[in-house]
Amino acid sequence: GTDGGSNRPSIIGNYTSSSNNEIAFNVTGSQRMSLDSSGRLLVGTSTARNDFNNGSASCKVQVEGTDFASSSLSATRNSVDAGSPTLELSKTRSASIGGVTVVANNDKLGTINFAGSDGTDLVRSARIEAQVDGTPGANDMPGRLVFSTTADGASSPTERLKIDSSGNLIAYGTVQTDGAFVS
């Protein structure tokens, strides 16, 4: 059905706004999440953001809030062992859903971006990225971690630190250890 503003404690139905159609999930008369006409899952908002990456991107899952509880994602594992919850970021070179085509040297396997608002868009301040660091083979996936930050006056992150597949730590710029500077 449609959300006609009824006093029902919870409804799932088609919700029509002035700009698009979406499926809205309402609890106690308030919209809690929706699936918009572009297939974006919106939690805590009914309007998708299109201002990621300096205004050039919109994400498929968006969570908005005004405090820790309403703007955070959580994964909790309850087990009597040393295991932990996992965030799995994976890549294939397949063009099809469910594919497993092997990746290649220098492919990006997963990225975590950190961004802040410049008053107009969400601009990236820092990034942690996993990349393939060699030739993959059966049960062999050489990798490196790349840490990037954005300099004052710039609008995108630059690589600053890298840990390669051999365990080498490569730093760009000045490195400080135990109070002494090393170039």
Q: Is the confidence at residue 179, as pLDDT, over 80?
A: no
What residue type is assigned to position 28 of the chain?
Answer: T
SS3 180: strand
Contact 146, 131 (CB under 8 A): yes
Phi and psi of 70, rounded to 5°? -90, -5
Tokens (6 digits) for 81 = 């062992």
Count Cβ atoms within 10 A of the Cβ of residue 83 and give its class: 0-12 exposed, 13-18 middle, 19 or more buried.
exposed
Contact 142, 134 (CB under 8 A): yes
Mean pLDDT of the residues in the chain: 86
CB atoms within 10 A of CB 48: 20
pLDDT tens readout for residues 55-92: 788 888 989 889 998 888 899 999 999 999 999 999 99
pLDDT tens readout for residues 15-49: 544 445 778 888 887 888 889 888 889 998 888 88
More confident: 14 or 169: 169
